[in-house]
Amino acid sequence: MGAHHETDLSLRPGQDRAERPVAGAGEVPRVFRKPREPEPGAAEQRLQPGRRGPGIRAVQQLSRHGVPSMDKPTATITIDGVRIETEPGRNLVQVANENGIFIPSLCYFEHIEPPLGTCRVCTCRINGVPGPACTEKVRDGMVVEATTAELVDARKAIVEMMFSEGNHFCPGCQKSGDCDLQHMGYEMGLTQSRFPHVFKDRLIDFHPKRMIMEHNRCIKCLRCVREVFTDDGKAVFSFRNRGNETRVGIDYIEEAKLSDRQAVEAMHLCPTGAIIVRGELHARPFGKRRFDLQSRQRRVLATEPQLVLPKERKTVATISLAGCFGCHMSLLDIDLKLMDLVEIVELNKSPLNDIKQFTKHCDIGLIEGGCCNAENVEVLREFRQHCDVLVALGECAIWGGLPAMRNTIPLSECLEEAYLSSISSMPDECTVPYHEDLPKILDKVYACSEIVDIDHFIPGCPPDANYIWKSILSLLSGQPLSVLYSEFKYD
């Protein structure tokens, strides 16, 4: 289900993440540039009147930082048909953002020069040739296509693969709400990934003095490798291995030399939750985190859709499979809108009314939870057979969610740890439960889309109540779905 998440809370033109206060509240820091020694005599040359060369370059550098220059050169470029005049040599992503054109990126950080260009999320068509926008410098006559359907789909595919390849369970991540990868998902309106989740079990490095390296969340953007240094100029992070086995390694000796402030700033420099500092999470309430309310894109404030009653009442069925029932509880949080829902909806099979069997064919089926046993698969297929439209409700139904955290561990080890090795009040009777009436447990937790075709996806853990309400209303009335940025969340 495409999410048109709109808001009037976009950043001001020219405002960058790095302009926020650093350290302690999830902001992206400016520090960690490796100290550069000044050229001998550079200061004296700049102060000598009448000299060319370094003196002129110094004036041009000052003009880039806000000091007026009488002969400041300009370049005219076009981005998506918008004519922009700016200074040549500036970074294309930064110029676009300053002029209200959002070019997403995960690796770009304005204080890293040359730019990294590793994530490829910022890919644009520049003078007809696809390439990363973050590595491009503005030059006169440049024509840039940034938001064509082909480019938007390619960017979505890249971000979807990042979510599928790593362990990005947002509700359980310390950086949820302050994660650039999560933010890109919000900006692109990603409701699900077209690629199956890998669930690869990577080691978590607890050896550093202050930090924890969660390799399951690392997207190998190179930010930490290129930006984090000790006071004496020694690198703290580096790439290890090659190809698909590449990972970010940390020098334990150099990491111990970082101050507490530098360690926290390294954590905030990371675009995901791969770098964690013990005891320095700075969690904030929902709604007050960095990416809860602010969209980097300029949009018009959405108006809540008007209730359009169908000509006849629609029949809806719901079920909770391998989940926690939290999505059903969120559905009840629409409060007084339930009175409107009762007028247009007849509930058939659902735990809300305790009807166990289908009594008629249904228009919409809401599925909470994934499939962890044979009974879940049977019920899901029954819903597909009896419902015209099937909706995956919540993260567990979309990709497995919290129950799928066991997918990185063999089933036999899970059962052994849970029933044989765990503390029990009856140690002499430790055994794995088995009975013919118990549904057979599956080797892993499957997403609903891996079992049957799913028509719509409503992400969240649980989804926002207003998001659920608007989605149901859109399906019942055929109106376009309009969801606010603040309502479209993964946690």
Q: C-alpha distances in angstroms, 9 versus 299, 464, 484, 485?
A: 8, 19, 11, 9
Kindly report whether the global pTM for this prediction surpasses the value 0.85.
no
Q: Distance (Å, rounded) from C-alpha 133 to C-alpha 431? A: 58
Grouping H, G, I as helix, E, B as strand and the rest as coil, residue 388 is strand
How many other CB atoms are found less than 10 A from the CB of residue 163?
A: 22
Contact (Cβ atoms closer than 8 angstroms) between residue 221 and residue 116: yes
How many other CB atoms are found less than 10 A from the CB of residue 220?
A: 16
Contact (Cβ atoms closer than 8 angstroms) between residue 95 and residue 85: no
**In three state form, how does the secondary structure of 361-381 look?**
CEEEEEEECEEEEHHHHHHHH
Q: Distance (Å, rounded) from C-alpha 91 to C-alpha 134? A: 7
180-188 and 149-165 helices, crossing angle to 10°: 140
Q: Distance (Å, rounded) from C-alpha 360 to C-alpha 426? A: 47
DSSP E strand boundaries for 159-313: 204-205, 211-214, 237-240, 247-250, 275-277
Contact (Cβ atoms closer than 8 angstroms) between residue 362 and residue 315: yes
**Alpha carbon distance, N-terminus to C-terminus of the chain:** 18
Contact (Cβ atoms closer than 8 angstroms) between residue 1 and residue 481: yes
Q: Distance (Å, rounded) from C-alpha 177 to C-alpha 173? A: 9
User: Residue 28 corresponds to which tokens in the numbers above?
Assistant: 């992206």
417 conformational bin, left if phi > 0, alpha if psi -120 to 50, beta if neither? alpha
What are φ and ψ of residue 326, in 5° steps? -65, -30
Contact (Cβ atoms closer than 8 angstroms) between residue 267 and residue 276: yes
206 conformational bin, left if phi > 0, alpha if psi -120 to 50, beta if neither? alpha
- What does the pLDDT read at residue 18? 37
- What does the pLDDT read at residue 280? 80
Paired strand residues for 205 = 213
- Name residue, tokens 């930082």: 65
| Full DSSP string of 316-366 | EEEEE-BS-SHHHHHHHTTTTHHHHHHHHEEE-SBTTTTB-S--S-EEEEE
- What does the pLDDT read at residue 39? 44
Running along the chain, 491 residues long, what does each successive block of 10 average in pLDDT? 41 38 41 48 37 36 45 88 93 92 91 90 94 94 94 95 90 89 92 91 91 94 94 94 90 94 93 91 76 69 58 90 94 87 89 93 96 97 97 96 92 90 78 90 96 96 92 85 84 85
Query: CB-based contacts of 300: which residues, under 8 Å, 6+ apart?
Result: 6, 8
Q: Distance (Å, rounded) from C-alpha 406 to C-alpha 419? A: 15
What are φ and ψ of residue 171, in 5° steps? -60, -25
Q: What percent of the chain has pLDDT over 70?
A: 81
- Residue 312, burial from CB neighbour count under 10 angstroms (0-12, 13-18, 19+): exposed
- Name residue, tokens 């000052």: 62
Contact (Cβ atoms closer than 8 angstroms) between residue 153 and residue 136: no
Q: C-alpha distances in angstroms, 294 versus 22, 48, 265, 390, 486?
A: 18, 48, 22, 31, 8
Q: What is the DSSP letter of 27?
A: P
Q: C-alpha distances in angstroms, 485 versus 8, 58, 238, 300, 325?
A: 9, 44, 36, 11, 24
Q: Distance (Å, rounded) from C-alpha 457 to C-alpha 484? A: 16
Domains and CATH numbers, the chain: 11-36+72-296 (3.10.20.740), 314-417+434-487 (3.40.50.700)
Whats the size of the chain, residue-wise? 491
